[in-house]
Structures are given as C-alpha cells and as structure tokens.
Chains A and B, each alone.
Chain A
Amino acid sequence: MSAHLTYEESKKRVLFGLYLLAGVTLVEVFISLLAKGHLIPGLEHYKAILYIAGLVIGVLSAYKAYFIVYEFMHMRYEVKGLALTILLPMALLIWAVIAFFQEGNSWKNRRELIKQKNEAPARQGHLEQDGQRGTYVI
C-alpha cells in the first residue's frame, strides 16, 4: 500500500510510529498526573487546570487515533469515498461521547439546583390569599 516508499523507508516509518505513539502516551499520563496533583502538590484544587489538561489530553488522544487510522490502518492510501464512509460515523461517535459527558454534568448541576431550591426557606407569596394585591410575580 505504501507504494512510493522503499522497504527500508517503510521500516523506518514504522519505528517512528512506535516512538510517536509511546511518546504521546507518556505525555498524556504526565499531564494527567500533573493535573491531579501527584507531581506538584496542590494543583488539583484549580478546576481550570483540570479542564485544560482534559482538553489537551483529549486532543492528543484524537491525534493518536488519527495516526493509527491513517498510517497503521493505511487509510491514507485508500479511496476518498471509503475514508469518508468510515471517518464520518466515527467523528460523530466521538462527538456523541463528548456530548454525553457534558450531559451527565448538566444532570448533576440540575439535581444540585433542585436540592438547593427545595431546602431554601419559602418565599413571601404574591397572591391575594397571602394578603397581597394579587399581582402574580415570579
């Protein structure tokens, strides 16, 4: 499939692929441990660092996925149509996974909000029966 590379060049490319994937994995683990406060104590309290680390790690994983699909699975050398029929569903799946992480977070926030409002003291009523003029104000 890699018709324009010689045998020696192909072997070198594969070795390069090994170092690239291993290196990116190490960087990901390093960033994850850093953001959780294992390498520099105290970092885990900053939510911003956690989000940025998560984003960077996600991008690096996407890059690893691209490399594996394009180089190891030879997608680079396939017909464009084939590539699209495979990559479009995969891209939508990745979007779905990320979207549902956000969805779960939203459920938690709404649940906390409901709990908060349930525990808050009742507010002054605005209807006539509460002794007010009867204008309905939220």
Chain B
Amino acid sequence: MATTENVMDPHVEAHGHDGAADWTGGSEPFRVSYGKLMMWYFLVSDAFTFAGFLIAYGALRFSSPSWPVPDFVFSTAPFGIHHAPLIFVTVMSFLLIISSVTMVRGVQEGHRENKGGALFWVLMTAVGGLGFLGCQAWEWTNLIKTENMSVTRNPFGSFTADGVYLDMEGKPSKEAFHAGSSYLIHRHEAGHGAATAHEGGHAYKPGDHPGYMMDADGFVHRKFQYTSGPYAGQVQVESFGPKAFGALFFFITGFHGFHVFTGVLLLLILAVNIASGLYVERKNGYEMVEKIGLYWHFVDLVWVFVFLVFYLL
C-alpha cells in the first residue's frame, strides 16, 4: 500500500515493494516536466485546429470544377519581380527553417547555462520570425491592393478548355490559351488608361463592349471563345474564380501568421527573462527556452504543410 515515507525521485518510475504502481505522487509521467508535457499537448490540440482548416481547403479545392493555379497566383516578389513562380514563398520557407535552426542553437546554449549565447540565438530566432511576418504582410498587401483579392472576391480564374481571347472589336484574336491555365481579372478606373504595363495602354469604359465587359466595381472582364469542349464557339466572359480561394487563403495563412506573431512575442518575453537572469536561478538548464522552442518548431511544421498544400500541389 502507499506510504507517506517514500522518498520520491521525480525521474524514476514509482513502484511499491510488490511491483504494483505507487500512487503517492511526486514522480513525473513520461519523465518530462509538467510544463513541457503540457506544451506538447497544446501543440497536438493546435494541430487538430490546423488540420481542420486544411481538410476544409482540400475538400473545397478538389471538389471545385476549376481552381486558380498556385504558381500563377503566387509569382510576384518585392522590388517589382514578376513571373517568378513560388520563389517568394520559398524564401519565406527558408526564413522559418533558419529561425528553427537558430532556436535549436538557443536551446543548446541554454543547456550549457550560457546566458549570453542563449539570449543571442533566441533574439536571432525572433528576427527570423519578424522577417517571415514582413514577407507575409507584403504578400497580403500585394494580393489585396494590387490584385484585388479579398475574403469574398477572387479575381483569379482558370479556363476549363482551350480557346482564344477576343480583340477589342469582338473578333477572335491570336492570343490563345490552354485548358487549365489561369487568368487575373484586373481593375481599372473608368476612362483612365492602363493601370499596369502589361495591359497595353487601353482605355476601358464601363458597360458591355465587344471585347470586354466592365462591371460596376471597375473590373474588366475580357471576352473569349472556347475552341474545344462542350462550350466551343460560344462567346464567354472572364468570371471571378471560386470565392472559397480567397477566404481559405486569408484565413489559413492569417491563422498561421497569428501563430508566428504570438511566437515572436513569446520569444521577446523569453529574451527579457534570460537577460534578467531568471533562468540562472531556476537551475533547470533553461528549460523555458526548450518549451518555447517546441512551440516555434510547431509553427515551422505547420508552415511545411501549408506550403505543401497551398503552393506545391
């Protein structure tokens, strides 16, 4: 039976003299500290939330008749770079990977009770995280301001068959496209010239025209004709793509970005605590660095899957 005189070593399994389990307490389950175990289980619960979002994305995307091609949508980068599919997003992945590595270095220095080293690497990790957030902010600004994507509107669409665009007189032009390729519906101010260089300097007017249709919000929907498939020969108008694309993109990357932001805040608080000498007094090998490190690696892990599902597939 349990007795109160047992001296408990937290890192040894608790068993009585007859081999039965001892319930007097004081030993750690799985031989890890409470804080670390609870951080692991919080991460499991967070994984369920992200998995829920990714399941929604997967089910909606693959049940849609058409879906914008990721390398068409995500082909811009800062400093005026265009036609660089997935490059900016790869840079963002590298930033998170590097920040994970600096975090591991921080944990290693913490184990050696090296206050200065742990502080340096934790701050480097925060810098990496801030860099990632800056890149994500640029991506969002570009999509919202320049390309007019929102939670309810998706100006990226795809063609379901081969065809050609109509020119300004409404006749089929030489500008052809293949099934599966994507287009972007641009927004113009009524009466003004082209907003971007690759429009060719047309002045667009609101209403229905032979070559295009401009709606009340200023979006220019170009007209085209399919040359194959069930709608061959009919004049069609570029329509907005599936609404779910914008909603899913902003919610999922936003939720992940929120986690990165929280992680940066935690890292900054950790840095202040390290600098103040709090963990020197605790004598636990700077375990808090390890716990925050677990959270940070989880954020990187989620990005691996978001990157895979949104951009690579």
Q: Which A residues fall within an 8 A CB radius of B?
A: 1, 7, 10-11, 14-15, 17-18, 21-22, 25-26, 28-29, 32-33, 36, 38, 44, 54, 57-58, 61, 64-65, 68-69, 72-74, 78-79, 81-82, 85-86, 89-90, 93-94, 96-98, 100-105, 107-108, 111
Contact = CB atoms under 8 A, between A and B. Distances in A.
B203 interface: no
B71 A38 contact: yes
B93 interface: yes
Interface of B: 30-32, 37, 40, 43-44, 47-48, 51, 54-55, 58-65, 69, 71, 85-86, 90, 93-94, 97-98, 100-101, 103-105, 108, 111-112, 180, 290, 293-294, 297-298, 300-301, 304-305, 308-309, 311-313
Which of A28, A33, A44, A111 has its CB near the most chain B CB atoms (within 10 A)? A28
A117 B309 CA distance: 33
B265 to A, nearest CB: 20
Contacts of A93: 47-48, 51
B51 A64 contact: no
15 contacts: A32-B313, A33-B71, A33-B85, A36-B85, A65-B304, A68-B304, A69-B301, A72-B101, A72-B103, A72-B104, A72-B300, A82-B32, A97-B51, A104-B59, A108-B64
A32 B59 CA distance: 21
B32 A78 contact: yes
8 cross-chain pairs, A with B, having the tightest CB-CB distances, nearest first = A104-B62, A104-B63, A107-B63, A82-B30, A104-B59, A101-B58, A93-B51, A32-B312
Contacts of B55: 96-97, 100
A79 to B, nearest CB: 5
Contacts of A101: 58-59, 61-62
A29 B47 contact: no
Contacts of A61: 304-305, 308
Contact of A108 (B30, B63, B298, B304): B63
Contact of A81 (B30, B93, B301): B30
A98 B313 CA distance: 12
B205 to A, nearest CB: 36
Nearest to B181: A44
Contact of A25 (B30, B71, B97, B313): B97
A78 B59 CA distance: 35
| Main secondary structure on A side of the interface with B | helix
Nearest to A54: B313
Contact of B300 (A68, A90, A98): A68
Which of A54, A58, A65, A104 has its CB near the most chain B CB atoms (within 10 A)? A104
A73 B101 contact: no
B71 A32 contact: yes
Contacts of A65: 301, 304-305
A70 to B, nearest CB: 11
Nearest to B40: A86
A64 B304 contact: yes
B8 to A, nearest CB: 18
Nearest to A74: B290
Given A68-B301, A68-B304, A73-B294, A103 B90 contact: no
A68 B108 contact: no
B44 A68 contact: no
Contact of A28 (B30, B64, B85, B312): B312
A119 B271 CA distance: 66
Given A22-B94, A25-B93, A100-B55, A79 B62 contact: no
Contacts of A7: 108, 112
Contacts of B290: 1, 74
Contacts of A18: 97-98, 101
